[in-house]
């Protein structure tokens, strides 16, 4: 079965699993730098709850992966989403870029700093 084409322009999908940058230990979202290697990390997938292994080898970028090859399609997106929510709660603002009418220079929304 082939993977569906991405709807994101200039984005290609592959059959390779995405490297997971953050794992959950209890209620804490941890980066790969904060945990010991292997199953000793004690983390689980933020999307599906399966055990993660911390891969800290010499060839690839350090990352989390599902233990024993199990995988879920939402691990990367969910871990990044949770980290973004964590950052927003701490910083309480975001820089919004300007928005222009498609293919024209008519500004619809000026750049601004949104605080919440």
Dist CA 89 CA 111 (whole Å): 21
Dist CA 73 CA 55 (whole Å): 19
| pLDDT average, residue stretch 99-116 | 81
Between 96 and 9, where is the model more confident? 96
Between 4 and 94, where is the model more confident? 94
Dist CA 40 CA 60 (whole Å): 19
If we measure between CA atoms, which residue out of 9, 26, 27, 6 comes closest to residue 73? 6
Is this structure's pTM higher than 0.95?
A: no
pLDDT at 67 over 70: yes
Helix (H, G, I), strand (E, B) or coil at 32: helix
């Amino acid at each position: 079965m082939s993977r569906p084409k991405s709807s994101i322009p200039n984005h290609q999908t592959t059959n390779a699993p995405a490297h997971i940058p953050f794992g959950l230990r209890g209620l804490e979202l941890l980066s790969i730098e904060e945990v010991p290697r292997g199953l000793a990390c004690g983390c689980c997938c933020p999307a599906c709850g399966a055990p993660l292994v911390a891969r800290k080898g010499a060839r690839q970028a350090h990352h989390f992966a599902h233990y024993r090859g199990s995988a879920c399609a939402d691990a990367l997106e969910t871990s990044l989403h949770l980290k973004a929510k964590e950052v927003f709660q701490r910083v309480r603002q975001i820089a919004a870029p300007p928005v222009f009418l498609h293919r024209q220079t008519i500004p619809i929304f000026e750049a601004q700093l949104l605080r919440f």
